C-alpha cells in the first residue's frame, strides 16, 4: 500500500517513503490550517490551504496507484509545484498575521531532495526570480499585504542561504551515494567473478543457473549446461609451473569466450573446470557448439615461454528441464564429463 518494493533500489524506496511522509504531513497541516481559516472566515486563505491539502493527497495516490518511474516523477513534481505555489500565494496574501513568508524555508530542502541537485537548483532559481519580482517589481500590483524593504531583502538573503546549504548537502549526499554504489558494485563484481580469467566464478555462476532455472519454470522451455575440464592440466603445472598454468587458463577462457554465441554464458567452475550455460538450447544444439569449441581449442597452439603446446578439453553435457532438479542436472553433467575422460579425453559426452 505504501508503494515500496523489495525490487526497487534503496534510494528509490527511500524517496517513496519520504514522499508518503511529506504528503501525509502536508495534508494534515494544510487541512487543519484550512479548516481554521474557514472557521475564521478567511475564505481566500482557506481555499488556498484546502486546495494544497487535496493536491498533497493526490501526489501520494498517483505514486502508490501507478507505481512506475514516470508516476513517481509526476508525483514528486506535483508535490514540489504545490509547495512552491502554496508558499508563493502565502507571500502574496501574507497568511495569518503576515506569518505566511516563514513557510518559504521549507522550499529549498524539499525541492533539493525530490528534484536532485541540478533540477533542484533550476527550480529554486525560477522560484527565487519569481519571489524577487513579486517583492521588488510587482509589489504594488500583486501583494495583498505590506512588507518593509528590510524584511523582504532579509527574507530573500536568508532564503538564498538555506538554498545554498540545501544544495551543498544534496550534492554531498548524491556523491556519497554514488561512491557507495560504485564500491558495492565493485565488491559484487569481485565476489561473483574470477580474478584470473575475469569470468564468473562458481558463486556467480550458481546465481545465474538459479535464475535460468526459475525462468524455464515460467516458460516451460529447456536450457543446457556443460562442464569442461582441461585434459592433463596437472602435467602442465608440473612441467611449466603454476604461473604458466594460470596463463594457459586465461588463454583457454579467451578461446572459449570468443567462439560462444552471444546468449551463452561461460564461468570458471573451479580449478581447470569451466561451466557453460546455453539458454533455450537443447542438449543436441549445445553439443554442436561444444564440438566447435573442442576442435578450435585442440587446433590452437598455446604459447608457454618458448614452447607452443596443444591443449584439449573434455565436456559433459546435460539438458535441464522443469522436471529435472538443478542439482541433479549439474551432477549428470559431471558424470558425463567423467565418462568423456574415461573414454579417451578430448570428447563431448551427453547424458
Question: Catalytic residue among 272, 280, 291, 292, which?
Answer: 272
- The Cα 76–Cα 322 span in angstroms is 44
Q: Helix (H, G, I), strand (E, B), or coil: what is residue 228?
A: strand
Contacts of 67 (CB under 8 A, 6+ apart): 3, 5
Catalytic site includes residue 336: no
How many angstroms separate the CA atoms of 48 and 91, rounded? 12
Q: Among 170, 70, 59, which residue's Cα sits nearest to residue 111?
A: 170
Which contiguous run of DSSP H or E holds residue 306?
none
How far, in Å, CA of 11 to CA of 268, rounded? Answer: 33
- Contacts of 231-236 spanning 24+ positions with Cβ under 8 A: 231/311, 231/312, 231/313, 231/314, 231/341, 231/345, 231/346, 232/345, 233/271, 233/272, 236/304, 236/309, 236/311
Neighbours of 123 (CB within 10 A): 21
Q: Are 326 and 216 in contact (CB under 8 A)?
A: no
**DSSP 3-state percent helix, strand, coil across the chain (nearest 5):** 70, 10, 20
Place of cell 500565494: 89
CA neighbours closer than 13 Å in the CB half-sphere of residue 39? 6
Which positions are annotated as active-site residues? 272
Amino acid at each position: 500500500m505504501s508503494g515500496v518494493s523489495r525490487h526497487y533500489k534503496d534510494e528509490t524506496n527511500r524517496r517513496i517513503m519520504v514522499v508518503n511522509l511529506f504528503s501525509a504531513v502536508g495534508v494534515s497541516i494544510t487541512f487543519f490550517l484550512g479548516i481554521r481559516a474557514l472557521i475564521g472566515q478567511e475564505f481566500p486563505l482557506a481555499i488556498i490551504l484546502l486546495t494544497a491539502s487535496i493536491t498533497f493527497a493526490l501526489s501520494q495516490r498517483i505514486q502508490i496507484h501507478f507505481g512506475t518511474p514516470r508516476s513517481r516523477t509526476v508525483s514528486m513534481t506535483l508535490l514540489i509545484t504545490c509547495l512552491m505555489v502554496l508558499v508563493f500565494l502565502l507571500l502574496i496574501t501574507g497568511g495569518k498575521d503576515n506569518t505566511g513568508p516563514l513557510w518559504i524555508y521549507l522550499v529549498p530542502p524539499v525541492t533539493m531532495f525530490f528534484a536532485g541537485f541540478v533540477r533542484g537548483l533550476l527550480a529554486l532559481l525560477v522560484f527565487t526570480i519569481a519571489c524577487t519580482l513579486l517583492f521588488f517589481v510587482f509589489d504594488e500590483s500583486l501583494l495583498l499585504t505590506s512588507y518593509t524593504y528590510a524584511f523582504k531583502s532579509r527574507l530573500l538573503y536568508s532564503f538564498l542561504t538555506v538554498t545554498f546549504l540545501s544544495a551543498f548537502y544534496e550534492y554531498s549526499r548524491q556523491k556519497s551515494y554514488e561512491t557507495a554504489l560504485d564500491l558495492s558494485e565493485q565488491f559484487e563484481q569481485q565476489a561473483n567473478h574470477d580474478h584470473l580469467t575475469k569470468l564468473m566464478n562458481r558463486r556467480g555462476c550458481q546465481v545465474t543457473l538459479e535464475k535460468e532455472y526459475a525462468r524455464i519454470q515460467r516458460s516451460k522451455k529447456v536450457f543446457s549446461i556443460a562442464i569442461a575440464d582441461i585434459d592433463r592440466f596437472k602435467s602442465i603445472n608440473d612441467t611449466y609451473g603454476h604461473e604458466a598454468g594460470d596463463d594457459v587458463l586465461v588463454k583457454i577462457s579467451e578461446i572459449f569466450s570468443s567462439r560462444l554465441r552471444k546468449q551463452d554464458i561461460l564461468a570458471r567452475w573451479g580449478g581447470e573446470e569451466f561451466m557453460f550455460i546455453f539458454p533455450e538450447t537443447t542438449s543436441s544444439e549445445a553439443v554442436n557448439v561444444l564440438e566447435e569449441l573442442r576442435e578450435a581449442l585442440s587446433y590452437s597452439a598455446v604459447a608457454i615461454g618458448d614452447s607452443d603446446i596443444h591443449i584439449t578439453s573434455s565436456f559433459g553435457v546435460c539438458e535441464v528441464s522443469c522436471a529435472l532438479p538443478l542439482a541433479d542436472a549439474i551432477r549428470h553433467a559431471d558424470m558425463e564429463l567423467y565418462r568423456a575422460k574415461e573414454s579417451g579425453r578430448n570428447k563431448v559426452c551427453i547424458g
